[in-house]
Amino acid sequence: MAHNISRRGRPSRQLVYQRLEEAMTELRQRMGQLPSPADSERIWTAIWYQEAHHSTALEGNTLVMKQVEALLAEGRAVGNKELSEYLEVTGYAAAAQWVYGHAPNSGSWAAETPLTLTEVRHVHELAMGPVWGVAPHPNALPSERPGSFREHDIEPFPGGMVPPSWVRVQAAMT
C-alpha cells in the first residue's frame, strides 16, 4: 500500500477512502472477514483511532493523529486547541465504540435486523452531545440538538454533495 502524497498536510478524502478500501481488501484476502473485537483488540483500537481522527478531520477538526491517540488512549488533551475540538473527537469515538459493540458479529444484533431510528438518534447524541454542550452549531435552532432532526436546509458541501432538504430527512429515515 504505497502512496505518493505530493502535498503537505492531511491526505485527501479520496486517498483516505482508497486506503481504507485497500486495507479492507487485504483483510478479506488474509482473514476472510474483518476480525471481531474479541479476536484482535489491537487492530480494533487502531481502527478506532484512525476512524475518530479522519472522520472528525473531514468536518474540519485540526487535531493530528498523535493528539487523537493521546486523547483516546490516555484521556490527555495534548496541544493548544479549542475544547470543542477535543470534545468532537471524544464524542465521535464514543459513538463509534457503541456501533462496534452492536455490530452484527458482536452477538447483540442479528445480521438481518435493521438499525432503528432510536438507535440512529442515540448514536448521534453520543457523537454530538459533548461538543454541543460547549459549542452548539451557530445556525442550529434550539430544537435541533443532538439526536434530533434539523429543521432548516444546510449549504452544499465543498465537494459538491447537496444534502437533502430538511423536510425529507425524517421521512427518509423511517
Question: What's the chain's average pLDDT?
Answer: 86
| pLDDT score, position 159 | 82
Give domain status of residue 161, yes or no.
no
Counted domains in the chain: 1
Give domain status of residue 93, yes or no.
yes
Return the closest-CA partner of residue 58 out of 1, 21, 107, 13: 13
Q: What is the tens place of the pLDDT at every residue in 61-77? A: 999 999 999 999 999 99
Residue 90: give its domain's CATH number: 1.10.3290.10
Q: Which pTM value belongs to this model?
A: 0.72
Cβ contact 56:71 at 8 Å: no
Give domain status of residue 17, yes or no.
yes
d(CA 128, CA 97): 14
Task: Give me 27's grid cell.
Answer: 483483510
Give domain status of residue 106, yes or no.
yes
Give domain status of residue 21, yes or no.
yes
| pLDDT score, position 11 | 83
Q: What is the tens place of the pLDDT at every residue in 122-145? A: 999 999 999 999 999 898 999 999
Question: How many other CB atoms sit within 10 Å of the CB of residue 65?
Answer: 14
pLDDT: which is higher, 71 or 171 = 71
Give domain status of residue 160, yes or no.
no
Question: Mean pLDDT, to the nearest integer, of 29-45?
Answer: 73
Task: Give me 100's grid cell.
Answer: 462496534
* Single-letter amino acid code for the residue at 139: N
What share of the chain in percent tops pLDDT 90?
A: 55
Give domain status of residue 127, yes or no.
yes
Tell me the Cα Rg of the chain.
18
Give domain status of residue 28, yes or no.
yes
| pLDDT score, position 105 | 59
Domain hosting 66: range is: 13-135
What SS3 class is residue 85?
A: helix
